Amino acid sequence: MKHLLLISTGGTISCLKDTDGSLKPALSGSALANEVPELKALCSLSVLPLFELDSTNVQPEEWVTIAEAVNQNLDRYDGIIISHGTDTMAYTAAALSFILQNVKKPVILTGSQHPITEPDSDGRKNLPDAARVAAASDFPGVYIVFDGDIIKGTAASKIDTKHNHAFQSITEPRAGCVRSDGAVVFENPIPVTSQPYTFCPKLNPNVLLLKLYPGFRPEILSSLILPGKEPIYPAVILETFGAGGIPFHNRNLLPVITSLIAADVRIYCKSMCLYGGSDLSVYEVGAEAEKAGVKNLGNITTETALAKIMWELGQKS
């Protein structure tokens, strides 16, 4: 029987109703495990209660704290399960995918759309499924396991605020699934690598993510440079139209983008569309942006784009 560690961080799965009727994380990892007795038949489980936070409150600093807990316990367990709120789970999964470089064991994030104390909570399925994947997986890496899907940590986005099928693999096919009989099936796993595992926890959270929209004013970008001071953000990610369009008619964003790049601010772009990614060579509005120095992030989720740039900047500091 595999020996797994459950790191609990809060989220809806751990929520109880507060005095005003709102949901608030309250249950520890041990309490979560006690709600799902079938875990005892799936693995030998230890619990590490890390914090009890709504995932809205999980910031890059918490990503590092979670990563440190994983790193400190990898040698002691066959796999790690992280219970986490759904709202920022994909961001945390993406960040861990960069911090835990070439991790040699499964690191599985899961949670629920409904508190586990509710009789019909999806957490009663998701938590055991996460244990099944962590215990049965021959494919190490960071994954989200949710509503039967196994999704690579760098490919997931939350797509629904209410239904149990809250996550989808966006940039590539799902990695696999947990069938209704409990069997774990990998279809498109993270490739196993011979590269050594390295722990790279340095992040620079000073990355600005902006979504363009019709009427977006250049002054929004020019305000990032204050006279005589270092730029407020060393990197800006623009969620652009379609395949990577940045306006240059009427409200022309290219001159201020050029000024930012000259001030040593890196400007990245990705499509605001869920599928297909960005390609700046397709349209003039993309080609002109590329000439101005905008770097294309290609087919990448917003969550992974943000984590990737924060991590890359952290390695240079």
Residues sharing a CB contact under 8 Å with residue 200, sequence separation 6 or more, in sequence order:
98, 99, 101, 311, 314, 315
Tokens of 219: 């002054």
Alpha-carbon distance values, 204 to 108, 130, 164 (Å): 24, 30, 33
Considering only CA atoms, give the Rg of the chain: 21
* Cα separation of the two ends of the chain: 43
Which residues, in sequence order, are bridge partners of residue 269?
Answer: 238, 296
> Residue 50 and residue 154: Cα distance in Å, rounded?
23
In contact, 278 and 269? CB cutoff 8 Å: yes
Which residues, in sequence order, are bridge partners of residue 199?
Answer: 100
Q: Which amino acid is at 53?
A: L
> Residue 185 and residue 173: Cα distance in Å, rounded?
13
> What is the bridge-based pairing of β-strands 149-152 and 100-101?
unpaired
Given the residues 9, 12, 117, 240, the one annotated as active site? 12
Told to judge if 12 belongs to the known catalytic residues of this protein, a careful annotator would answer: yes
Kindly tell me the burial class for residue 301, based on how many C-beta atoms sit within 10 Å of its own C-beta (0-12, 13-18, 19 or more).
buried
| Catalytic residue list | 12
